[in-house]
Chain A
Amino acid sequence: MVDLTSANPLVMTHFELIAAVTATCVLLIAVATDLWHAYRSRSRRLD
């Protein structure tokens, strides 16, 4: 059972932080992967 007397509404910010950090990391990985593929295909064309 949840203890409603000791609950903290600021915990919401922890969820926000987890979501923001996860989404930013995944976004950066996706951008880096796309850039890497673009670079590879361009260098293959030049060869």
Chain B
Amino acid sequence: MQYVEKYLLLFARVYLGAFNLASGINFFFHVWPQPIPADPLGAAYMDVTLKLGLFQFAKVLELVGGFCLVADAWVPFGLVLLFPVTVTIFIMNVFFSPMVHVVISGARNFAFHCLLFGGYFGYYRGMLSAAAAPRPLWRTLTKGGRHG
């Protein structure tokens, strides 16, 4: 059972990472034409985000987050970086795209992302503190990484 869990998380991590890395590299190096949403609303959204520079920023997040996941380095951080992109793509692809393969792609990436959040939950447990007192970065650094 532990092996199934290990291999499932490994597959989801590399799949999600490679997908985002390929998408980010394709945007900056023009390997293939940039895919655009087939529905008019999605195309308009992409046009606006391109003009605002948000789309380019999302592609940088895809590059950094995708690299983290593929390289198995800073994975919890990479998952947090990629989550806004995954959610946006999930909403656009699943609820607005008329193309089946795009719907499946958005839903699968979102499912893999949720699975990975579950698999790396131990790293996020601290974020669920109900009454969180401040632990400033500058104090943490001066105390050699110990909180107090």
Contacts and interface: CB of A to CB of B under 8 A. Distances in A.
Interface of A: 1-4, 6-16, 18-20, 22-24, 26-27, 30-31, 34
A23 B14 contact: yes
A4 B19 contact: no
Contacts of B47: 4
Interface residues of B, number: 31
Nearest to B7: A27
Interface in B1-25: 3, 6-7, 10-12, 14-16, 18-19, 22-23
Interface of B: 3, 6-7, 10-12, 14-16, 18-19, 22-23, 26-27, 32-38, 43, 46-47, 50, 70, 99, 101-102, 105
Q: Is the interface of A mostly helix, strand, loop or mixed?
A: helix
A38 B125 CA distance: 33
